[in-house]
């Protein structure tokens, strides 16, 4: 056969492994980004939900809510927008879980694992592309918020820190998404995760202050990691918010740094273990 004879790189040192782990991650990342570029409608579908939510809350329910202590509806846009950003990041784990369930279902994970590539790239490439995806999501939401009249009240440093905290939350939830995506049987089951995600996103300070909720529910909402990120970025955007009695709400920025770290500390090892379990 007149075929070019291929000699793959056979060196097996630590250096070459690291080099390939990076190269393979890059290859997977490029593949994932090609999807996004080829199918920009993905963004429309995924952002449809938060956009509908914001319109509903700002213009339907929000007018009845007194979030600033200055009367119903006052300052609700400033209150809800940061909440919406945090919620979109929180629900992002569904995208990760769905994508992971998809590559598992389609046999990509099997093929990748039977190849001499770095298997970590399946996860690192996925994670990087999700962070890039989330950044684009945020940019679109911010543009919509600006059109609706929302303005960040802090300086440039505070505003950038707020977006960094949002992506920090999204990054931590990638590991949750990978764990769940590997755990569920198929993409259909991954889609059903929304039933879990919805209360997790909603029982929080995203659209309503926990102070307005019944005692125990308010406590759950206040301690929700999504609330911490929402509260922290409200501080950084200088949005109006009634100060509540919950200790964690008064330390929102610290909580918004720590919560994702805790989530990562729990779910990163779980996701790695789940990935290794594929070999059992």
Partner 1 sequence: MSTSDYVVLTEGLQKRYRETQALDGLDLAVPRGLVFGLLGPNGAGKTTAVRILSTLVRPDGGRAEVAGHDVRTQPRLVRRRIGLTGQNTAVDDNISARQNLVMFGRLFHIGKAAARQRADELLAQFGLADAAEKTPKKFSGGMRRRLDLASSMILAPEVLFLDEPTTGLDPAGRREVWQAVGELAAHGTTVVLTTHYLDEADKLCDRIGVIDRGRNVVEDTPSGLKRRIGNERLEIVAADPGDLPAIEMLLGKVAADGRTPTLDETTLAASVAVSNGVTALTEVAAELRHRDLTVADLGLRRPTLDEAFLHLTGERPTDDLEVSK
CB of 131 to partner 1, least distance (A): 20
What is the gyration radius of the CA atoms in the chain, in angstroms?
A: 21
Contacts with partner 1 by CB under 8 A: the residue count is 36
Binding segment toward partner 1, per CB under 8 A, in 3-11, 43-51, 73-81, 138-146: 3-11
Closest contact distance (angstroms) between CB of 76 and partner 1 is 40
The reply on whether position 9 binds partner 1 by CB under 8 A is yes
Burial of 194 (0-12, 13-18, 19+ CB in 10 A): middle
User: Which of residues 12 and 195 has its CB atom nearest to partner 1 in the complex?
Assistant: 12
* Residue with smaller CB distance to partner 1, 3 or 64: 3
Residues 91-130 that bind partner 1 (CB under 8 A): 105-108, 110-117, 121
Whichever of 76 and 275 has its CB closer to partner 1, that residue is 275
Least distance (Å) between residue 16 CB and partner 1: 9
With 0-12 CB in 10 A as exposed, 13-18 as middle and 19+ as buried, what is 191?
Answer: middle
Dihedral sign (CA 102, 103, 107, 113)? negative
CB of 268 to partner 1, least distance (A): 23
Specify the residue, 6 or 195, whose C-beta has the smaller distance to partner 1: 6
**Which two three-digit tokens encode residue 220?**
């759950």
* 20 or 150: CB nearest partner 1: 20
Q: In the bound complex, what is the minimum distance in angstroms from residue 35's beta carbon to partner 1?
A: 5
Contact residues for partner 1, defined by CB under 8 A: 1, 3-6, 8-10, 12, 20, 23-24, 27-28, 30-31, 34-35, 38-39, 105-108, 110-117, 121, 278-280
């Amino acid at each position: 056969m007149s075929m070019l004879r291929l000699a793959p790189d056979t060196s097996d040192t630590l250096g070459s492994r690291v080099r390939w782990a990076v190269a393979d991650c890059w290859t997977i990342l490029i593949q994932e980004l090609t999807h996004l570029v080829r199918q920009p409608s993905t963004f429309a579908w995924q952002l449809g939900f938060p956009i509908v939510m914001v319109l509903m809350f700002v213009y339907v329910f929000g007018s009845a809510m007194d979030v600033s202590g200055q009367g119903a509806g006052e300052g609700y846009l400033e209150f809800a927008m940061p909440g919406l950003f945090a919620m979109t990041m929180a629900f992002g784990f569904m995208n990760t879980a769905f994508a992971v369930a998809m590559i598992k279902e389609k046999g990509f994970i099997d093929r990748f694992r039977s190849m001499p590539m770095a298997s970590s790239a399946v996860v690192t490439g996925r994670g990087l592309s999700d962070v890039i995806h989330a950044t684009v999501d945020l940019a679109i939401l911010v543009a919509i918020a600006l059109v609706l009249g929302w303005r960040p009240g802090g300086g440039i440093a505070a505003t950038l820190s707020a977006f960094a905290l949002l992506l920090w939350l999204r990054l931590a939830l990638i590991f949750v998404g990978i764990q769940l995506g590997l755990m569920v049987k198929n993409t259909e089951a991954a889609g059903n995760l929304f039933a879990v995600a919805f209360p997790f996103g909603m029982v929080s300070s995203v659209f309503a202050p926990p102070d307005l909720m019944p005692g125990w529910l308010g406590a759950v909402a206040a301690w929700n990691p999504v609330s911490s990120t929402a509260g922290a970025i409200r501080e950084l955007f200088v949005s109006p918010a009634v100060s509540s009695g919950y200790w964690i709400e008064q330390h929102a920025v610290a909580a918004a740094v720590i919560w994702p770290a805790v989530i990562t500390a729990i779910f990163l090892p779980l996701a790695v273990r789940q990935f290794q379990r594929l070999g059992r």
